[in-house]
Structure 1
Amino acid sequence: MKSIISAVTCILLISTLSSCSTSTTGRKQVMLFSEQELSKMGAASFDDMKKQIPISTDKPTVNFVQCVADAITINVPKSAHQGEWEVVVFDSEQVNAFALPGGKIGVYTGILNVTETQDQLAAIIGHEVGHVIEHHSNERLSANKLSNIGVAVAAVAIGASDVDNKGLWMAGLGVGLQYGVIMPYSRSHESEADIVGQDLMAKSGFDPKASVKLWQNMDKLNNGAAPPEFMSTHPSNQTRIKQLNQHLAQSMTLYNKDNRPQCKKPEVIPKPPVAKNKAKK
Structure 2
Amino acid sequence: MHRRALLSGLAGSLITAPALAQFNLGNLIQGGANIVGAMTASEGDEVKLGETYYQQYLQKSGGIHPDRNAQEALKRFAQPLIAAADRRQLPWEITLVANKQVNAWALPGGKLAINSALVQYSQSPDELASVIAHEIGHADRGHGLAQMKNQNLMTGLGAIGKEALASFGGTAGALTAQVLGAMEGPLYGLILTGYSRTNEFEADAHILQIFERTGYDPTKADDFFRTLLKLHPDGSETTSLFSTHPGTTERITKIEEAAAKMSRPTRAASAPGWAELKALFPTPAG
Normalised-by-shorter TM-score class: 0.5 to 0.7
Alignment deviations for residues 48-88 of structure 1 (CA, whole Å, 9 cap, x no partner): 124443211324432332122101011112xx341552221
Q: Which residue type is aligned with residue 39 of structure 1?
A: V
Among candidates 126, 129, 133, match of residue 126 of structure 1: 133
User: Residue 173 of structure 2 corresponds to which residue in structure 1?
Assistant: none
Aligned 1:264-279 pairs, distance under 5 A? 264=275, 265-269=277-281
Q: Which runs of 5+ in 1 are unaligned?
A: 1-14, 153-182, 271-281
Q: Which residue type is aligned with residue 95 of structure 2?
A: V
Among candidates 211, 224, 235, match of residue 214 of structure 1: 224
Q: Does 1:18 align with 2:26?
A: no
User: Residue 55 of structure 2 corresponds to which residue in structure 1?
Assistant: 47
Among candidates 241, 245, 254, match of residue 243 of structure 1: 254
User: Residue 70 of structure 2 corresponds to which residue in structure 1?
Assistant: 61
Distance 1:235 1:95 in 2: 18
Name the SS of the counterpart of 1:257 in structure 2. Answer: coil
Aligned 1:61-210 pairs, distance under 5 A? 61-77=70-86, 80-82=87-89, 84-145=91-152, 148=155, 186-210=196-220
Distance 1:146 1:64, change over 3 A: closer
Distance 1:218 1:146 in 2: 28
Which structure has the larger Rg?
1
Decide whether the 8 Å contact of 1:81 with 1:102 is kept in 2: no
How far does residue 125 in structure 1 lie from its aligned partner after superposition? 0.3
Name the SS of the counterpart of 1:266 in structure 2. Answer: helix
User: Residue 18 of structure 2 corresponds to which residue in structure 1?
Assistant: none
Q: Does 1:252 align with 2:259?
A: no
Q: TM-score, normalised by structure 1?
A: 0.66
Name the SS of the counterpart of 1:240 in structure 2. Answer: helix
Q: How many residues align?
A: 219
Decide whether the 8 Å contact of 2:47 with 2:90 is kept in 1: no
Distance 1:143 1:216 in 2: 31
User: Residue 159 of structure 1 corresponds to which residue in structure 2?
Assistant: none
Decide whether the 8 Å contact of 1:202 with 1:256 is kept in 2: no
Q: Which runs of 5+ in 2 are unaligned?
A: 16-26, 160-192, 238-242
Distance 2:90 2:6 in 1: 33
Q: TM-score, normalised by structure 2?
A: 0.64
Q: Compute the RMSD of aligned alpha carbons.
A: 3.7
